[in-house]
Amino acid sequence: MKEYKSEIEFLNDYDSNKYDKLSLTTDILLFSVANGVQENYRKLNKKYFSILLVKRNTYPFKDKWCLPGGFIGIDEDIEDAANRILKTETNLDNIYLEQLYTYGNPKRDPRMRVISTSYIALIDKNKLPNMISNNASWFNVMILEDKNIIDLTLDNGIEKIKFKIKKILKEKTTNKYRYEVLENNKLAFDHPLVIVNGIERLKNKIEYTDIVFNMMPEYFTLKELQQVYEVILGKKLLDPAFRRIIKDKVIKTNKMRTGGGHRPSVLFKYKNN
């Protein structure tokens, strides 16, 4: 082995092909909350947790749905790549973005070895202009969890994507699970897993952070905020308890939401100090 006298000398001489190289992609879990139809002028809009998927028009997995994503440039920071992809899908900057996990199973892409770093992104759909690329679509997420089987249905109003995942306890001290895809015929790659992991992360984070406000408009009623919590957590919350928890995080404004056939509600803002 040659002896180098300095780091500069070493670097000038370095052959960057010494080690195996591979490709890196990033996949984005873009989540939002959608309004359902109003069945009655008095009743509240039902809300749905929703995710953006893209229909593949090339091989591999042609005609299957997948998460928006793409290859990372050789001189591009991973997070920059994630933001670039988000920009092409939403035409928005400054979207909440958080790294989720890096998936490195050697067989996850049939073409070649591809490692993928996934990100969670959150958005208030109202801010979204309509001009998403025409192969992208928002799917409402419905989750049924029975024992250790998670049953997911994604629905964009035209098409339903169903898949099942089995959770197998892998590590006791931290309650870590191995996820096994049982049924899936419409999602590409390992994206069923990525989606489930992303939802679980969000479920956890909503409990101990203010992450939910990244999915809210500037002004909102407390009930609207509560509905977003409920739809993500997958359970109903009690009003007084919810208000106690949330009260220090929001500011009451002098605006009201009226016209609902019932007592109007005060609009609040996120306490952004």
Partner DNA sequence: TGAATAGTGTCTGTGAGACAATATTAT
Partner DNA sequence: ATAATATTGTCTCACAGACACTATTCA
Phi-psi bin for 186: left (phi > 0), alpha (psi -120 to 50), beta? alpha
For residues 79 and 230, which CB has a smaller minimum distance to DNA in the complex?
A: 230
Contact 114, 61 (CB under 8 A): no
Min dist CB 223 to DNA, Å, is: 3
Which residues lie closer than 8 Å to 248 by C-beta, 6 or more apart? 271
3-state secondary structure of 181: strand
For residues 19 and 208, which CB has a smaller minimum distance to DNA in the complex?
A: 208
Binding of DNA at residue 105 (CB under 7 A)? no
Helix (H), strand (E) at residue 96: strand 96-103
Here's the x/- map for a second copy, 160-199, by CB under 8 A: it reads as: -----------xxxxxx-----------------------
Out of 38, 88, 102, 135, the residue judged to bind a second copy by CB under 8 A: 102
Min dist CB 247 to a second copy, Å, is: 17
Count CB atoms within 10 A of the CB of residue 214.
Answer: 19
Q: Comparing C-alpha atoms, which of 225, 197, 194, 190 is closest to residue 211?
A: 225
Residues 230-269 binding DNA (CB under 7 A) are 238-241, 243-245, 258-266
Which residues would be at the binding site for a second copy (CB under 8 A)?
A: 4, 7, 10-11, 14, 16, 19-24, 59-62, 71-79, 96, 98-99, 101-102, 104-106, 110-113, 115, 117, 171-176, 205, 209-214, 270, 272
